[in-house]
Structure 1
Amino acid sequence: MAGVLFLTGCLGAQSEKALPISSAKASAPETIEVQIDELPKDYFFIQGEDAKLIDESGEVIRPLFFQERVFLVRKGVQRSFVEDYAGNQGYVDRSYLSKSFSSYISNEYEGVEYGMYAEKNRPYREYVPVRAVYMPGLQLKNVDVFLDRLEGSVINTVVIDYKDDYDQILFPSKAVDETLPDASYPLLDNPEEFIAKFKERGLRLIARIVVFKSNQYASQYPDQSVVDSSGDLFYSDEGYWVSPHSRQMWQYIVKLSNEALAYGFDEIQYDYVRFPVSYGTVIDLRSPEEENRVTAIQKFIMYAQNNLNDRNALIGSDIFGWSAVSITDEGIGQHWEAMSAVSDIICPMLYPSLYTSGNLGLDRPWREPYEVIKRSTEYALERNANIQTPGLIRPWLQAYDAFIDFNEEEVAEQVRALHDLGIYEYMLWNPDGHYKLGGLNDLQKDRPASP
């Protein structure tokens, strides 16, 4: 593949460090009870490139992807009534249904689970396809103004940092009190009032949690963190890193996740769920279990899946867009099939400005938002077809200026590319929180009724 791809986190463009708004510590919420739905027992895989889920009148609900798994509700003579992962129910011609499944993973890693993941052996109840924007810490003081800008748009979800790139925690946290007692936090001490502002407008909330890049945790627990050959904490991509092998860190992150859900967030999204880029430096990853990078990342996601108090809560995993193209883990533990197999949502960061000349067969990819999204997502769909319990693809799209101005047309072209592939959800990233959404309203009129 010609060209060089720049690796960065979810931060497609650098954002300014937010300062705490309040240092008062209110009480953290209690955890919630676990509830498990009764699940369909029978399922089939879609075999064919043009299968569709249709309603009683014959209208298309959504296209079905090759080797996508659907749950049987009622068997028919010529067509069966099925349910997809998102909870959509409709008919599909029985000629497309098969029990057989073929996997073509080019590079399998030892110790990784590529088969059916039991925790995902169910459809997602009352799933709401997400059209989201990211709200950075810079906007916390201006939340009403930020929300006013979303009025009349197609946006139905907001992604907010619960633990950000600088270890700042949004709300009062028992987990932080116990683990990092000297940490300065929270950013806000009025969680109920803050959450209510979004809920009153019918908006869902996703808690973004930066996982293994953590200055405060690395400084507090250097024995759990990545170090260089001199034994000093390793600094990469503007931060120190805790080893993804650290079970102690896994527990801390899951405690934060449960707090976010108890406060009223609807979904958890993990960012920087990877190893640091070494940039040629010899580093010690602290691997007492002698497990490889890909296995460590997958096991962390599986640990979170098994330890969220709300078993119906969804987990999204951010992943480099290039991971859909590369058959390796790029040295950071992000292997597409390994992460998608155990994540409810897989979130490739498909920012055109991060691709360089020659990537995806494009001379100037930063000037071709439609083609970058279309070609990258085609790779992602092909990779998802290799696994029996793939994550729903919900990409991060660019909504910030870089090399060229990203105005309404450029933002809409990215969404149009997803629609042309049968994907109707996305998240927009702008590190300052200013979005140009007008071009999305017209697109939304032409989408299928569901999802």
Structure 2
Amino acid sequence: MKYILKCAIAFFIFIFLSNTYAFTRGIYLTQSTAQNKTKMAYLIAQSKKFGIDTFIIDMNGPSKSYAANVKNVVRQGIHYVARVVIFPHGGTHAQVVDKNIWAKRLKLAKYAIELGANSIQLDYIRYRSENPANPEKAKRILKVVQYFKNELAPYKVSLQMDIFGIAAHKPAHTIGQDPGALAAVVNAFCPMVYPSHYEP
């Protein structure tokens, strides 16, 4: 019960005290879409028409077309949130503790910031769900998130994190996500709202 209360308080803080993302309307775009000038021009026009103010866009690697189109998004006054996948499909223990992987993903985040991102969204920052439960996993994932928090602090960007529904009411020791502990490190949680990922 205390854990649920802690998570609820964290979510209310994110909703009501965040000046940047308290009231936003956003859409998610793949990198391939972001690299298409025609599609992006259409999406920008439609977003202005219907009040969309945020684009969450995958950042998988540098691209001239991506850079040009994203810079235009920013010029048009639309918030650019860069989604960076940390451990695709969830990490193994070896991957989660591999600081070389952390550094590669950090490089992508910094590249996105150069293009105008004012927020970095960390996705798949967890263990694979089929692995055995272990409370130590949450400590390791927290360490990874803290690394990004510290490294990105000089850039003064918002740090978001995607979490599974199974971590919404108690720590998910299979995947290593504990929102109660992570709330002190990130600026916002982005819950994955697949019904299958929420326990009864």
**Does residue 86 of structure 1 match 2:18?**
yes
Q: How many Å apart are 1:274 and its aligned residue?
A: 0.3
Whole-Å separation in 2 of the counterparts to 1:320 and 1:295: 17
Q: How many Å apart are 1:269 and its aligned residue?
A: 0.5
Identity %: 23
Instruction: Tell me if structure 1 keeps the 8 A contact 2:165–2:192.
Output: yes
Instruction: Tell me if structure 1 keeps the 8 A contact 2:10–2:183.
Output: no
**Does residue 209 of structure 1 match 2:72?**
no
Instruction: Tell me if structure 2 keeps the 8 A contact 1:244–1:296.
Output: yes
Instruction: Tell me if structure 2 keeps the 8 A contact 1:320–1:349.
Output: yes
Match of 1:197 among 72, 83, 93: 72
Q: How many Å apart are 1:339 and its aligned residue?
A: 1.9
Q: How many Å apart are 1:204 and its aligned residue?
A: 0.6
Query: In structure 2, what is the equivalent of residue 135 of structure 1?
Result: 29
Instruction: Tell me if structure 1 keeps the 8 A contact 2:138–2:178.
Output: yes
Query: In structure 1, what is the equivalent of residue 46 of structure 2?
Result: 149
**Does residue 226 of structure 1 match 2:92?**
yes
How far does the alpha carbon of each residue in 1:113-168 deviate from its partner, in whole angstroms, 9 at most, with x for none?
xxxxxxxxxxxxxx2433211012352322112223323213110000012xxxxx
Instruction: Tell me if structure 1 keeps the 8 A contact 2:27–2:54.
Output: yes
Instruction: Tell me if structure 2 keeps the 8 A contact 1:339–1:346.
Output: no
User: Any unmatched runs of 5+ in structure 2?
Assistant: 1-8
How far does the alpha carbon of each residue in 1:186-240 deviate from its partner, in whole angstroms, 9 at most, with x for none?
xx313553123212332110000000128xxxxxxxxxx838xxxxxxxxxxxxx
Whole-Å separation in 2 of the counterparts to 1:342 and 1:66: 11
Whole-Å separation in 2 of the counterparts to 1:336 and 1:128: 19
User: Any unmatched runs of 5+ in structure 1?
Assistant: 1-64, 70-83, 88-126, 164-168, 172-187, 215-224, 228-241, 281-290, 361-451
How far does the alpha carbon of each residue in 1:17-46 deviate from its partner, in whole angstroms, 9 at most, with x for none?
xxxxxxxxxxxxxxxxxxxxxxxxxxxxxx
Whole-Å separation in 2 of the counterparts to 1:244 and 1:67: 26
How far does the alpha carbon of each residue in 1:387-446 deviate from its partner, in whole angstroms, 9 at most, with x for none?
xxxxxxxxxxxxxxxxxxxxxxxxxxxxxxxxxxxxxxxxxxxxxxxxxxxxxxxxxxxx
Query: In structure 2, what is the equivalent of residue 268 of structure 1?
Result: 120
SS in 1 for 2:95: coil
How many pairs are equivalent? 185
Instruction: Tell me if structure 2 keeps the 8 A contact 1:268–1:316.
Output: yes
User: Which residues of 2 match residues 26-425 of structure 1 at below 5 A?
Assistant: 85-87=17-19, 127-129=20-22, 130-140=24-34, 141=36, 142-163=39-60, 169=61, 171=62, 188-213=63-88, 226=92, 243-278=95-130, 292-308=136-152, 310-325=154-169, 327-352=170-195, 354=196, 360=200
SS in 2 for 1:310: helix
Whole-Å separation in 1 of the counterparts to 2:129 and 2:18: 34
Change (3 A) 1:137 1:196: closer
Tell me which amino acid in the other structure corresponds to 1:258: K
Whole-Å separation in 2 of the counterparts to 1:346 and 1:262: 23
Change (3 A) 1:309 1:159: same
Change (3 A) 1:192 1:259: closer
Q: How many Å apart are 1:279 and its aligned residue?
A: 6.0
Whole-Å separation in 1 of the counterparts to 2:11 and 2:188: 17
**Higher helix fraction (1 or 2):** 2
Relative to the length of structure 2, the TM-score reads 0.78
Instruction: Tell me if structure 1 keeps the 8 A contact 2:25–2:51.
Output: yes
Tell me which amino acid in the other structure corresponds to 1:137: Q
Tell me which amino acid in the other structure corresponds to 2:98: S
Whole-Å separation in 1 of the counterparts to 2:129 and 2:77: 39
Query: In structure 2, what is the equivalent of residue 90 of structure 1?
Result: none
Alpha-carbon RMSD: 3.1
Change (3 A) 1:189 1:66: closer
Whole-Å separation in 2 of the counterparts to 1:67 and 1:151: 28
